[in-house]
Amino acid sequence: MKKVSFDLEVYTFQIDFAHHVSNIVYIQWLEIGRLKLLEEIGLPADEAAKRGITPILVNTNIRYKQPIYFGDNVRMEVWVGEMKAASAVMEFRIYKNGDALAAEAQQTGLFINLETKKPYRITKEERALFEKFME
């Protein structure tokens, strides 16, 4: 199984009153991860929109393991944990300063038809794009 892995920056404006990265930043980072995953599989969000579909989220779960501070080096990994006819569960791991696990997350998403706003069942060909990133 292949994972999408990339570095993230920590900026001063992302730090909360407790002096670590705010929980809302993790949600933003997951969005970056989903977009990078779609790019890697060959179906970037803008291309999906041209096909008349768009990804949406139906669930997000984050387990914070340890705080991330300004100055920490941050890396994210994302892959597909499970895929059904119309939905997928994406798995995320966020590491700081090498291999220290800072957070684990799961998001369930699906594509909807932009015209009907109803769930879109991915084709066999589209599913094949995701399979190299499936657990």
* Number of residues in the chain: 135
- In the CATH scheme, what architecture does the domain 4-131 have? Roll (3.10)
From first to last of its 135 residues, what are the pLDDT tens digits of the chain?
A: 899 999 999 999 999 999 999 999 999 999 999 999 999 999 999 999 999 999 999 999 999 999 999 999 999 999 999 999 989 999 999 999 999 999 999 999 999 999 999 999 999 999 999 999 998
Domain boundaries, the chain: 4-131
How much is the pTM? 0.94
